[in-house]
Amino acid sequence: MPGKNKLEVFPTLLTIVLLLMLSGCGETKHGEVRDVGVEGSSIIRLPSREDYAKIPLNDAIRKQKATREFAGGGISLEALSALLWASSGLKQDSGNGDITGATRNTPSAGAIYPFTIYLVLRGAVFRYSPVGHYLKRIRAHISGSDIARAACDQEAVSDANCVFVLSADFGKTEAKYKERAERYVYMEAGFIAQNVVLEASSLDLGSVVIGAFDDNAVRDILGIAANERPVCLIAVGKRRSSGSSQR
C-alpha cells in the first residue's frame, strides 16, 4: 500500500541524513583548528569574513596590551579568518586573481603589496592567500618552538596559539621606488602589525610583535624563497589570567 511504502522509506532517508551530518562532507568546519599540520587537507578554507569584532575600535585600542603569556588550546577558524583578513585581506575579492589598485585592508606604496603572510599553526607552516581567502600548508612538522629558537628562545613565540610571520619581497617595491623602497616596506609592516594586534584585541585575544630573531633561520624554517625577508613576527593567542605586560 502507498502509506506503508512511505513509512518504510522514511527510516532510510533519516539514516542517510544522519550519516551526512556525521561525516561533515570531508571539509574543515568552523571551530578550533587542531593538528592541521600533521593530518588533514593542505588547504584550509576560511569562513566568509564577517564582523567578528566584539568591541568598538576605541575600546580595542585602550584594551590592547603586549601579551607574553598565553593559555593553551586551539584557535577558532572564525578568529583566524578575522585576523588574516585584517592583515592583508581584500576589500573585494573577484576570485580571479585580477587585483589592481588599493584593494587590501592595509596601505601599500604604489599598491604593490610586497608582503606575504605566513602562519605557524598547530604543527605546520601555512601561506595566506588574500585571493580566495584561504591558507595553504607549505611545510609540516613545524611548531612555535622551532620559530622561538630562531627568536632568542622567547617563550611568547613558543607558547602562542599561532605565530604570524610578515615576509617582504623588497625587490618589488625597489623596482618602482629605488632607494626609498626600504622605508615604504617597513612602514607597511607597521600597518599590517597594527591591524593584527587591534583585531586580536577586539576578539579578546592577546598578541605581541617580535622583532628580535635571526632572519636566515626563520627563512629556513619556513622554507620561503631567498628573495623574501622576514620583517616581524606576531604571536597571537588566548591570554593567561596573569602575565600580560602593557606596552
pLDDT reading at 165 higher than 70: yes
Neighbours of 155 (CB within 10 A): 14
- Amino acid at the residue 217: A
pLDDT reading at 92 higher than 90: no
Residues 32, 34, 37, 39, Cα dihedral to 10°: -120
Q: Phi and psi at residue 135, in whole multiples of 5°?
A: -110, 140
Q: How far is CA 223 from the centre of its chain?
A: 17
Neighbours of 174 (CB within 10 A): 17
Mean pLDDT in residue range 238-247: 62
User: pLDDT, tens digit, for every residue of 5-46?
Assistant: 444 444 443 333 333 332 333 334 444 544 444 455 699 999
* Domains of the chain, first to last: 31-245 (3.40.109.10)
Residues 46, 47, 49, 55, Cα dihedral to 10°: -110
- Report pLDDT for 122: 86
Contacts of residue 157, Cβ cutoff 8 Å, sequence gap at least 6? 144, 147, 148, 151, 163, 210, 233, 235
pLDDT reading at 230 higher than 90: yes
More confident residue, 232 or 60: 232
Helix axes 181-202, 77-88, angle to 10 degrees: 150
pLDDT reading at 2 higher than 80: no
- Report pLDDT for 207: 94
Mean pLDDT in residue range 47-72: 79
